[in-house]
Amino acid sequence: MKYALVTGGSRGIGKAICIKLATDGYNILLNYKSNDLEANKSKEEVELNGVKCELLKFDVSDNESTQLIISNWLDNNKAAKIEILVNNAGINNDNLMVFMPNEQWHNVINASLNGFFYVTKAILKSMVSSRYGRIINVVSLSGLKGMPGQTNYAAAKAGVIGATKSLAQEVAKRNITVNAVAPGFIATDMTKDLDEKQLIELIPMKRFGTPEEVAETVSFLASKSAAYITGQVISINGGLYS
């Protein structure tokens, strides 16, 4: 009855994390926003590993539906324990700040930063009362060093980094760890329109990373072996920046 909740599990990095945590023996609660087709494909691949996978469709930036869906699930599954929460859902919507409408700022902040807050709040009490938990937040290189055209995205991710470090100190004595992974360029839908040929020249390893490479680090942070690591941000970027 051990579960991992992964937000944004229908595609890209989130999907790879769901599959990896399934191979680690966790049942998966797979959240996504709208792509039913990809979510169902992801569920099928997860279940090939002999665990259960339940789809939880909600928009993490919508507090009301996030609280409702998670609390209903917890009420209906009293024997289950959500041991792992991976806050992975996020969007980018790049623009130079001088041209950025308020909506473009708020949409990106709402998905990554407010989404982290709403989902984590909905799960945290049950982790505190069971005195065990692993929270892993997927942030970004952009939140560490900034990127032109990404003031909204970098602010959202830097906000999650600050929250990771604070929450880690709040819940450490309850045996709950809170860490972040900061990918550089990873080959997913989010990066498919970028000029890969030009960008890999900046990366010491001369390639984009894979979602599976991010999932390996998430799996380690989610494991019992990482019990004494908390409040950390681990970069996964082929040497681009550290």
Catalytic residues: 153
Size of the site for ligand NAP (CB under 6 A): 33
For residue 175, give the amino acid letter.
N
CA of residue 117 relative to chain centroid, distance: 12
**Minimal distance, residue 131 CB to ligand NAP, in Å:** 28
Cβ pair 168, 193 in contact under 8 A: no
Q: How far apart are CA 46 and CA 22, in angstroms?
A: 6
Q: Copy the structure tokens of residue 178.
A: 């809170």
Nearer to ligand NAP, 55 or 100 (CB): 55
Span 38-97, contacts to ligand NAP by CB under 6 A = 38, 59-61, 88-91
Pairing label, strands 176-183, 233-236? parallel
**Minimal distance, residue 240 CB to ligand NAP, in Å:** 11
Cβ pair 236, 216 in contact under 8 A: no
**Minimal distance, residue 92 CB to ligand NAP, in Å:** 6
Nearer to ligand NAP, 27 or 88 (CB): 88
Fill in the per-residue mask, 2 to 31: x = in contact with ligand NAP (CB under 6 A), - = not in contact.
-----xxxxxxxx----------------x
Q: How far is CA 228 from CA 48, 85, 216, 231, in A?
A: 32, 17, 18, 10
Q: How far is CA 93 from CA 60, 96, 101, 156, in A?
A: 17, 10, 11, 12
The DSSP call for residue 25 is T
Q: How far apart are CA 23 and CA 30, in angstroms?
A: 15
Q: Which of 163, 185, 215, 217 binds ligand NAP (CB under 6 A)?
A: 185
**Minimal distance, residue 111 CB to ligand NAP, in Å:** 4
237 touching ligand NAP, by CB under 6 A: no
Nearer to ligand NAP, 131 or 204 (CB): 204
Q: Where does this chain touch ligand NAP (CB under 6 A) — which range of 108-116, 171-179, 195-203, 223-231?
A: 108-116
Q: How far apart are CA 198 and CA 189, in angstroms?
A: 18
Fill in the per-residue mask, 135 to 174: x = in contact with ligand NAP (CB under 6 A), - = not in contact.
---x-x----------------------------------
Which positions touch ligand NAP (CB under 6 A)? 7-14, 31-35, 38, 59-61, 88-91, 111-112, 115, 138, 140, 183, 185-186, 188-191
